[in-house]
A and B are shown apart, each in its own frame.
Chain A
């Protein structure tokens, strides 16, 4: 039994990932760039991890760099492409529902940014995205699927438009890798190991051959010259093995989670009054769903569900992390009050979902009573 419903933030380390990590702690401590036995062993292990992740992502090993986080991978993808294409211009096209790590990187670069709006389910219009590309566009950014509401983005169509305009497309695939395939055609991709059951502390930056990219940081030959400093070999090995393991079971496991999320999407509006389920009901990520409740603040709802043993996240304002409501919900014109994102993992059982569904109506009713909003 598990009430951990925040898989989109990160999963516990998978059994395969844990085993690989423990083995690598003994085996992979040496500096892979040195010329002695233990170093050669470390080099072999690092090369193997890179080949494995490259195979998992259907790219070449020399296109894969490991970073200390998914956030840094996204920052390097944005800043390195803008540095490499400075001669083209400083214009960026991005969707309104990018992860904050991409938004903060384009803002930091002081790029001239065009933001492409989304519809009520949170999806960009591919022709509108294509129309925003200009001769001075250095970079386009599209998340593979919304990390907050699950809606899958038209990556293939946008990639085709970018190819036509000769603009590199960065796809933040953190919520997709290890679960669902990402259409080809992009130039850069980023991901985060803890989202697929690998350890915290490993991100992946893929730069396809032929993409103009220049390190925004001081030169360092490691990781293909893209990420300064030595990666943590045990963590990287663990991440690679965890990804292989996640992909082995992905089809069956994601189908199982999709059915559980379908049940949540169907049942919550039936049992909780004045609730809005957000995002595309069908073309969505398998493991997460989002809903908002009228008359409730997100923090009270988080705390009440925590007391019931459920770990969820919220895009409402006035939660611990921010005073602003989620930019994703805002871009969709969705209700932001009493917002909860539920994201499921391999630990989640049918019973866990049933217990959540049985507890939620009472929790919401109780909080509305406390707010003096139970008679509205």
Chain B
């Protein structure tokens, strides 16, 4: 798993429907260094499916999901 110190940014997408969390992720990931990690915080039902699918389509690493105080944190590592 990922060390918390590797998480360089948290995208707060609470209350925003898909595909907004994926759009925010696609916008943010190229701005961080390869190997670092972004958490997408979302309470949308489709994020659970579409964030891993985006990673698969874009060759990025989907690390996993962890429950957050509100919503779920979807962790993505920039692989390329």
Contact = CB atoms under 8 A, between A and B. Distances in A.
B65 interface: no
B72 to A, nearest CB: 15
Nearest to A371: B23
B19 A294 contact: yes
B22 A294 contact: yes
A225 interface: no
Contacts of A330: 49
Contacts of B53: 276, 292, 333-336
A211 interface: no
A323 interface: yes
Contact of A295 (B26, B49, B56): B26
Contacts, number: 67
A213 B57 CA distance: 47
Given A276-B57, A297-B17, A333-B52, A317 B45 contact: yes
A94 interface: no
Contacts of A296: 19
A373 interface: yes
Interface string B15-58: 00111001100110000000000000000111001101110110
Interface residues of B, number: 17
Contacts of A58: none
Nearest to A331: B49
Name B's interface SS: helix
A373 B23 contact: yes
Contacts of A334: 49, 53
B49 A333 contact: yes
B54 A329 contact: no
A316 interface: yes
A37 interface: no
A210 interface: no
A216 to B, nearest CB: 32
Contacts of B44: 317
Nearest to B44: A317
A376 B23 contact: yes
A323 B49 contact: no
Nearest to B21: A337
A372 B45 contact: no
Contacts of B26: 294-295, 373, 376
Contacts of B18: 297, 316-318, 325, 336-337
A337 B50 contact: yes
Interface in A289-304: 292, 294-297
A277 to B, nearest CB: 12
A324 interface: yes
Given A329-B49, A335-B57, 10 more contacts: A276-B57, A316-B18, A317-B17, A317-B44, A325-B49, A330-B49, A337-B18, A337-B46, A338-B19, A371-B23
Interface of B: 17-19, 22-23, 26-27, 44-46, 49-50, 52-54, 56-57
